[in-house]
Structure 1
Amino acid sequence: MADENGAKLMGAKRLWLEEEIQDDLRWLYSVKSILHAEVSDFQDVELLETGPFGKVLLLDGKLQSAGADERVYHECLVHPAMLHHPNPKKVFICGGGEGSTAREVLKHKSVEKLVMVDIDKVVCDFCEKHLEDNKDTFKDPRLELIIDDAKAQLEDQEDGEFDVIIGDLADPVFGGPCYQLYTQEFYENIVKAKLAPGGIFVTQSGPAGVLAHTEVFTPINRTLASVFPKVIPYLQHIPSFADCWGWNMAFKDGEAQAPLPVDEIDRRIQDRLSGGSGALQFMDGVAWTGVTSLNKIVRGSLEGEQHILTIASPKFIHGKGVKQVNF
């Protein structure tokens, strides 16, 4: 029987991690062991072995990625944009220090150059050392890893340089630096300029469940739509995030693009990825149809959203995870 903290099960004590999702919402999951922990100039970095999600990466006490479902998140982030582009050769990742986004990009045989810019060297080194699935990613000669501010580095690139730009950034939180990379100014003055003709931009867009989707998911969509001629929103439940998660994919040349049909998605996966369809665990043509089939509540919010994110008028979501260990 559990005690008042839910910390006992059938007479055996467990270690529980409590993470704050909102001011009035927390959840707990069991921790088998603390595998590694470091502190960078920017944040605490920890790798835990958990009961429900396997190995999880925590930054400042907030779960960033879990072995049990990170491929769902990263395949949704990367492959729709890569597959909708006819021949992506040059790709830029804003953030992504974990290496999983780069891992998925580098599955595409067409990729000749991948620039990944993350501000935290400790996170990059930590993940290269401790995340087994990503070790080869950091050694791929096509990858150029730059430790710096992603906005500044992208701004310094040549105009029209990249076929695909991916935003795998921290959530826009109050007091954090990343909120500026979710604004109209960033999309208009930097992202759009650095995309080649026919280029595609995709960004993670925060929680997208029926209760939380208006926090930043719909404003990001509205902001992108003020800059790009075509934007496709999509979402998928990520168990370790305790919600559905959202992404928005924007096309520089909207009239020339349309969502690909199921059979064409599957054909491109088979032809263009190393390992073909076996390279992906989650994403295929049917899955793409599923993630873009939004429920009525979310569709209504997208249609009614008016807030365009700017530096002067941002929106924030709940920030730093408040971590407690319970026995």
Structure 2
Amino acid sequence: MVGAVQEDIVREWNGLETNGYESRAMTKPQPRAEESKWYEEEIDDDLKLCYALNSVLHRGASKYQEIALIDTKHFGKALIIDGKMQSTEVDEFIYHESLIHPPLLFHPNAKTVFVMGGGEGSAAREVLRHNTVQRVVMCDIDEEVVDFCRTYLSANWGAFSSDKLCLVFNDARAELEKSREKFDVIVGDLADPVEGGPCYQLYTKSFYEHVVKPKLNDRGIFVTQAGPAGVLTHREVFSSIYNTIRHVFKYVKAYTAHVPSFADTWGWVMASDHPFNLTAQEINERIKERVDGELVYLTGESLISSTVLNKSVCQSLQNETHVYTEDDARFIHGHGRARCALTER
């Protein structure tokens, strides 16, 4: 058992229904005894991951992305955007606790938070567990994806209904540029940088330097998901994102965690112009004082240890010279508006 909080999330996901959305949803497959439905994700030209399915709950396309909600046999219900696994009910807490809680715990008193992306609502859910937070702006470009998640991901209904949440549908860059407000924490819960995707420009030096940093309050912290960070995958975008942010902020922390449904180690980068100098004990004290409910994954000790990278990844980050720009971007394998591959075996 993974704990009471995660049990609640799993129960809520399991309560998801498709009534009211049948006009856009696929009919649930009824495989014969000798058949199984599979979702295939192409990791590279010669590598695919396959997930056995119970059913396909929804497939559709918005103006910006393709979306699918599938019920897998191993990981439960899973959200797929442009053919890339975004999260599953069994282990999404690893990703979202790792993304949200480190910057909010290191900040002395985070009251305002801006979330770029985060359409499924899980990032906002974790932010709102902090009793210091008074206002959360969640800005996602794709209203159709958010509406779908707001309707069917019942684990996040509380976050979407919170009066502390301001939901905005816009390009995050445009929204930050026009905003007169500054924030204590800015979060990049964005899709991976894929060629033709909607947000690779939000990983560039110019964006971090001229848009993100000026919108942070004194002692503000920026954090972003930074893609695969395994021994064989960290050079795709993780090392470049880290090096790019290192050119903008004085103090930069890269950290990682294994996410089983991603079949890889995942990376995040946290940055500020003030040092990250809390001890594990101090982090645990802040968790106890600030966070509503028990965290399932993160402790002070695990947070500190997640910043200690293996030799291969550490050397790559220190030796990386590539800086992300609009004209010189790196992408993970795949492309925008990818087809969700469903096969029978």
> Normalized against structure 2, the TM-score is what?
0.87
Of residues 59, 62, 66, the one that matches 2:88 is 66
> Structure 1: how far apart are the matches of 2:298 and 2:277?
15
**Secondary structure of 2:208's partner?**
helix
State the partner residue of 2:75: 53
Show the counterpart of 2:152.
130
Partners of 2:82 and 2:114 in 1: how far apart?
26
Give the secondary structure class of the aligned counterpart of 1:103.
helix
| Higher mean C-alpha deviation, range 162-171 or range 289-298 | 289-298
Shift of 1:200: 0.2
Greater alpha carbon shift after TM alignment, 38-47 vs 125-134 = 38-47
Equivalent residue number for residue 309 of structure 1: 324
Which residue in the other structure is 1:44 paired with? 66
The one-letter code matched in structure 2 to 1:230 is Y
Cα distance in 2 for residues equivalent to 1:232 and 1:59? 28
Match among 300, 303, 314 for residue 288 of structure 1 = 303
Structure 2: distance between partners of 1:101 and 1:215: 24
SS in 2 for 1:33: strand
Question: Quick one: distance in 2 between partners of 1:39 and 1:316?
Answer: 22
Total equivalences in the alignment: 310
Q: CA deviation at 1:264?
A: 0.7
Partner of 2:128: 106
- 2:315 is the counterpart of 1:300: yes
For the aligned residues, what is the CA RMSD?
1.3
Contact 1:18 1:326 in 2 (8 A): no
**Which position in structure 2 is the counterpart of 1:185?**
206
**Structure 1: segments with no counterpart, 5+ residues:** 1-10
Aligned mate of 2:269, from 248, 251, 264: 248
Shift of 1:122: 1.0
1:258 to 254, 272, 276: 276
Whole-angstrom distance in 2 between the partners of 1:134 and 1:154: 24
**1:13, distance to aligned residue in structure 2 (A):** 2.6
> 1 CA distance for matches of 2:35 and 2:301?
43
2:250 alignment partner in structure 1? 229
1:14 Cα deviation after fit: 1.7
Structure-1 residue corresponding to 2:98:
76
1:259-284 deviation digits (Å, cap 9, x = unpaired): 42111111000001122xx1x11011
Q: Do structure 1's residue 19 and structure 2's residue 19 form an aligned pair?
A: no
Match of 2:344?
326
Choose which of 157, 164, 167 in structure 1 pairs with 2:185. 164
Give per-residue Cα distances to partners, 1:216-275, cap 9 Å, x unaligned: 111111111101000000011111111111000001x23xx2242111111000001122
Contact 2:137 2:168 in 1 (8 A): yes
Q: Residue in 2 aligned with 1:271?
A: 289
Cα separation, 2, equivalents of 1:37 and 1:258: 42
Task: Show CA shifts across 1:265-324 (max 9, x none).
Answer: 11000001122xx1x110111210231121000011011101111122211111245523
CA offset digits 1:42-80 (Å, max 9, x no partner)? 222221110111110011322111111101000000000
Looking at structure 2, the residues matched to 85 and 123 of structure 1 have their Cα atoms a distance apart, in angstroms, of: 31
Deviations 1:153-189 (A, max 9, x none): 0111126x10000001111111223111101100000
Contact persistence 1:17–1:326 (CA under 8 A) = no
Q: Which structure 1 residue ranges, 4+ long, deviate > 6 Å from structure 2? A: none
Instruction: Give the distance between the partners of 1:33 and 1:324, measured in 2 at CA.
Output: 11
